[in-house]
Structure 1
Amino acid sequence: MRYNVNKAWALDDTTLYLEFDDGRRGTYDMSDLIGVGVFERLSDPAEFRAARSDGFTVVWPCGLDIAPEELYENCVAL
Protein backbone atom coordinates (compact mmCIF):
# COMPACT_ATOMS: atom_id res chain seq x y z
CA MET A 1 0.00 0.00 0.00
CA ARG A 2 1.19 3.50 -0.75
CA TYR A 3 1.04 6.23 1.88
CA ASN A 4 1.29 9.87 0.90
CA VAL A 5 2.10 12.59 3.41
CA ASN A 6 -0.14 15.54 2.54
CA LYS A 7 0.98 17.85 5.33
CA ALA A 8 4.03 17.87 7.56
CA TRP A 9 5.83 20.25 9.87
CA ALA A 10 8.11 20.15 12.89
CA LEU A 11 6.46 20.47 16.29
CA ASP A 12 9.81 20.92 18.04
CA ASP A 13 13.45 19.96 17.37
CA THR A 14 12.77 16.20 17.04
CA THR A 15 9.06 15.59 16.38
CA LEU A 16 7.04 15.87 13.18
CA TYR A 17 3.30 16.42 12.79
CA LEU A 18 1.92 14.42 9.85
CA GLU A 19 -1.30 14.19 7.87
CA PHE A 20 -1.72 11.36 5.36
CA ASP A 21 -3.93 11.13 2.29
CA ASP A 22 -6.23 8.58 3.99
CA GLY A 23 -7.03 11.09 6.77
CA ARG A 24 -4.71 9.65 9.41
CA ARG A 25 -2.98 12.27 11.56
CA GLY A 26 -0.15 11.72 13.97
CA THR A 27 3.27 12.55 15.30
CA TYR A 28 6.60 10.92 14.52
CA ASP A 29 9.49 11.18 16.97
CA MET A 30 12.87 11.29 15.22
CA SER A 31 15.00 11.71 18.35
CA ASP A 32 16.61 8.25 17.86
CA LEU A 33 17.53 9.06 14.24
CA ILE A 34 18.74 12.64 14.46
CA GLY A 35 22.51 12.77 14.56
CA VAL A 36 22.92 9.27 13.13
CA GLY A 37 24.28 8.66 9.62
CA VAL A 38 22.63 10.79 6.96
CA PHE A 39 20.37 12.31 9.61
CA GLU A 40 23.38 14.05 11.17
CA ARG A 41 22.34 17.13 9.17
CA LEU A 42 19.10 17.33 11.16
CA SER A 43 21.05 17.96 14.38
CA ASP A 44 20.75 21.63 13.48
CA PRO A 45 17.33 22.60 14.89
CA ALA A 46 16.81 25.14 12.10
CA GLU A 47 17.33 22.42 9.49
CA PHE A 48 14.97 19.99 11.23
CA ARG A 49 12.30 22.67 11.57
CA ALA A 50 12.42 23.26 7.81
CA ALA A 51 10.63 19.91 7.26
CA ARG A 52 7.73 19.96 4.81
CA SER A 53 5.65 17.64 2.68
CA ASP A 54 6.33 17.33 -1.02
CA GLY A 55 2.96 15.57 -1.47
CA PHE A 56 4.58 12.16 -1.09
CA THR A 57 6.77 12.21 2.02
CA VAL A 58 8.65 14.57 4.36
CA VAL A 59 11.60 16.41 2.84
CA TRP A 60 14.20 18.88 4.08
CA PRO A 61 16.04 21.61 2.14
CA CYS A 62 19.34 19.77 2.65
CA GLY A 63 18.07 17.00 0.35
CA LEU A 64 17.03 14.46 2.98
CA ASP A 65 13.74 12.62 3.03
CA ILE A 66 12.26 9.69 4.91
CA ALA A 67 10.18 6.79 3.61
CA PRO A 68 6.45 7.49 3.91
CA GLU A 69 5.85 3.84 4.92
CA GLU A 70 8.15 4.33 7.92
CA LEU A 71 6.28 7.47 8.90
CA TYR A 72 2.85 5.87 8.53
CA GLU A 73 3.65 2.65 10.33
CA ASN A 74 5.44 4.32 13.25
CA CYS A 75 3.57 7.54 13.82
CA VAL A 76 1.52 7.96 16.98
CA ALA A 77 -2.03 8.54 15.77
CA LEU A 78 -3.94 11.53 17.07
Structure 2
Amino acid sequence: MPIVTVQLTREGTEPGVDHVTAEQKAAIFQGMSQVLLDVLGKPHAWTWVVIQEVDVQDWGWGGLPVLEYRKQLAQEQQ
Protein backbone atom coordinates (compact mmCIF):
# COMPACT_ATOMS: atom_id res chain seq x y z
CA MET A 1 0.00 0.00 0.00
CA PRO A 2 1.80 3.18 -1.16
CA ILE A 3 1.61 6.30 0.99
CA VAL A 4 2.59 9.54 -0.74
CA THR A 5 3.15 12.75 1.21
CA VAL A 6 3.00 16.02 -0.73
CA GLN A 7 4.26 19.11 1.07
CA LEU A 8 3.26 22.50 -0.31
CA THR A 9 3.59 26.04 0.86
CA ARG A 10 0.29 27.46 2.06
CA GLU A 11 -0.21 30.05 -0.64
CA GLY A 12 -2.53 30.29 -3.53
CA THR A 13 -1.86 30.37 -7.22
CA GLU A 14 -4.55 32.98 -7.86
CA PRO A 15 -4.98 36.50 -6.44
CA GLY A 16 -6.85 36.51 -3.14
CA VAL A 17 -6.41 32.77 -2.52
CA ASP A 18 -4.01 31.93 0.31
CA HIS A 19 -4.21 28.14 0.14
CA VAL A 20 -4.36 25.19 -2.20
CA THR A 21 -8.00 24.86 -3.23
CA ALA A 22 -10.12 21.74 -2.74
CA GLU A 23 -10.21 21.30 -6.52
CA GLN A 24 -6.41 21.50 -6.76
CA LYS A 25 -6.05 18.97 -3.93
CA ALA A 26 -8.48 16.61 -5.66
CA ALA A 27 -6.38 16.85 -8.82
CA ILE A 28 -3.22 16.08 -6.83
CA PHE A 29 -4.89 13.05 -5.21
CA GLN A 30 -5.96 11.78 -8.62
CA GLY A 31 -2.65 12.51 -10.31
CA MET A 32 -0.46 10.92 -7.65
CA SER A 33 -2.67 7.83 -7.58
CA GLN A 34 -2.55 7.59 -11.37
CA VAL A 35 1.26 7.75 -11.41
CA LEU A 36 1.46 4.84 -8.97
CA LEU A 37 -1.01 2.88 -11.06
CA ASP A 38 0.89 3.61 -14.29
CA VAL A 39 4.37 2.96 -12.90
CA LEU A 40 3.84 0.26 -10.27
CA GLY A 41 0.42 -1.15 -11.15
CA LYS A 42 -0.95 -0.13 -7.72
CA PRO A 43 -4.75 0.25 -7.80
CA HIS A 44 -6.15 3.60 -6.71
CA ALA A 45 -7.87 1.90 -3.77
CA TRP A 46 -4.46 0.89 -2.41
CA THR A 47 -2.91 4.36 -2.57
CA TRP A 48 -2.97 6.93 0.22
CA VAL A 49 -2.05 10.54 -0.54
CA VAL A 50 -1.51 13.07 2.25
CA ILE A 51 -1.16 16.79 1.55
CA GLN A 52 0.62 18.88 4.13
CA GLU A 53 0.40 22.64 3.73
CA VAL A 54 3.22 24.57 5.37
CA ASP A 55 3.03 28.29 6.15
CA VAL A 56 5.26 30.09 3.67
CA GLN A 57 7.27 31.63 6.52
CA ASP A 58 8.11 28.08 7.67
CA TRP A 59 9.66 27.09 4.33
CA GLY A 60 13.30 27.74 3.47
CA TRP A 61 15.21 27.42 0.23
CA GLY A 62 18.86 28.04 -0.53
CA GLY A 63 19.59 28.99 3.08
CA LEU A 64 16.95 31.74 3.10
CA PRO A 65 13.25 32.09 3.85
CA VAL A 66 11.52 31.12 0.60
CA LEU A 67 10.06 34.59 -0.07
CA GLU A 68 13.52 36.16 0.28
CA TYR A 69 15.03 33.50 -1.98
CA ARG A 70 12.37 34.14 -4.61
CA LYS A 71 13.14 37.87 -4.49
CA GLN A 72 16.81 37.12 -4.98
CA LEU A 73 16.08 34.86 -7.94
CA ALA A 74 13.84 37.49 -9.54
CA GLN A 75 16.55 40.13 -9.19
CA GLU A 76 19.15 37.83 -10.73
CA GLN A 77 16.88 37.15 -13.72
CA GLN A 78 16.43 40.85 -14.52
Task: Specify the TM-score bucket, using the shorter chain as the normaliser.
Answer: under 0.3
Q: Give 1 or 2: higher helix fraction.
A: 2
* TM-score (norm. length: structure 2): 0.25
Structure with greater strand share of residues: 1
Q: Provide the TM-score with structure 1 as the length reference.
A: 0.25
Between structure 1 and structure 2, the one with the greater Rg is 2
